[in-house]
Amino acid sequence: MYPFEYRRASTLEQALRMSADLAPAAFLAGGTTLYDLMKLGVERPVTVIDVNRIPELSHLRLSRSALVIGSGVRMSDLADAREVRESFPIIREALLAGATAQIRNMASIGGNLLQRTRCTYFRGTHPCNKRVPGSGCSAREGIDEGQAVLGGSEHCTAVYPGDLATALLALDAAVDVLGPDGARSLALADLHRAPGDRPEQDHTLRPGELITAVRVPATRMRQAYTKLRPRESYSFAWASAAVTLSLHPDTATIEQSRVVLGGLATRPWRVRAVEDWLHGRPLVEAVALEAGRLALRDAEAGRHKAFRIDLGTRAVADALLRAGEQHE
């Protein structure tokens, strides 16, 4: 591996100062994405700033209005937290469907949101616009089985692979960040970006901005996360869907819903057209399947990825029906 500077921050102020003084720097949380990609030579920060020992980042608080998750909270701890088991079952479902017990013990929530694509070409040495801007996209002529069916551009079709962000988007979460210009909060919907002509830029954070917390508004909506993958456990999604919904108390038709696709697009992919279409309809199998088809209507089949459009359709249908079975 190439040599780099390692610094450890013990306060937020220190982390920000180090990142301003020692750029280009990267924050290190669990390291399960960053250190891995540094070993591969894909990421090459000059300075690595360890933020694991900043106490403020590991808080978890549930108030009447929101669950506030410190960015340093580990996946396993969040999945096991009583607040999450009781009030946000979809968060637990999405977390436990991701990675492995060992990785979940290491990986932080902030790092999880900003995990990078698992596209083979990105992690390898073939031309890749995300890894080396302007070098070309090997997936265009290569194996596209795992590439995005939604949100791609001619420059990049790499999938955003995270399970948690998909579920959090269905909960309408927000992200608190702290940077050189102070603190701000942005909707999770505005954190990830589609590649367009700048595939190297996965997200909208400004240089030096640190995610401090994720804010999930309290909700009584029914919720479910369905993940379809090459094997039963421990695999990234071929297709997934996160659904939150509420039913009309008398007619049992759908009052409100959020439908988000995971593992299929270049970013967590909310499908509002489907949400509008579902409004007022009964939650029965035919409706759920039609919603799934609608969600994937604009998907690109490429050469080898048509089967994932079918999986996406079924993931949406399954998540809708399972959410419907829950108590409010």
Partner 1 sequence: MQIKVTVNAEPTLMDVDPRESLLDVLRERLQLTGTKKGCDHGHCGACTVHLDGRRVLSCLTPAVQADDTTVATIEGIEGIEGPDGELHPLQEAFVRNDALQCGYCTPGQIMSALACVAEGNAGSDEDIREFMSGNLCRCGAYVGIVAAIRSYAAGQP
Per CB under 8 A, which region of 4-12, 111-119, 133-141, 314-322 contacts partner 1? 4-12
* Residue of closest CB approach to ligand FAD: 111
DSSP string, 67-128: EEEETT-BHHHHHH-HHHHHH-HHHHHHHHTSS-HHHHHH-BHHHHHTPPP--HHHHSSS--
Q: Choosing among ligand FAD, partner 1, none, which partner's interface includes residue 5 (Cβ < 5 to 8 Å by kind)?
A: partner 1
Which is closer to ligand FAD, CB of 29 or CB of 239?
29
The span from the CA of 239 to the CA of 145, in Å, is 12
Report the half-sphere exposure of 326 (CA within 13 A, side-chain side).
Answer: 22
Binding of residue 234 to partner 1 (CB under 8 A): yes
DSSP state of 153: B
Which is closer to ligand FAD, CB of 210 or CB of 216?
210
The minimum distance between CB 47 and ligand FAD, in angstroms, equals: 11
The minimum distance between CB 232 and partner 1, in angstroms, equals: 8
The span from the CA of 124 to the CA of 222, in Å, is 41
Q: Enumerate residues 10-49 that contact partner 1 by CB under 8 A.
A: 28, 30-32, 35-36, 39-40, 48
Binding of residue 233 to partner 1 (CB under 8 A): yes
Binding of residue 142 to ligand FAD (CB under 6 A): no
The span from the CA of 293 to the CA of 299, in Å, is 10
Whether residue 142 contacts residue 156, with contact meaning beta carbons closer than 8 Å, is answered with no
Interaction mask 82-101, ligand FAD, x per CB under 6 A:
----------------xx--
Residue 198, helix vs strand vs coil: coil
CA 133 to chain centroid: 23
Whether residue 186 contacts residue 175, with contact meaning beta carbons closer than 8 Å, is answered with yes
The span from the CA of 135 to the CA of 125, in Å, is 11
Q: Tell which one of 4, 282, 293, 300 touches partner 1 (CB under 8 A).
A: 4
Which is closer to partner 1, CB of 99 or CB of 224?
99
Which is closer to partner 1, CB of 103 or CB of 273?
103
Question: Under the rule (CB under 8 A), what is the footprint of partner 1?
Answer: 1, 3-6, 8, 28, 30-32, 35-36, 39-40, 48, 50, 52, 76, 99-103, 105-106, 232-234
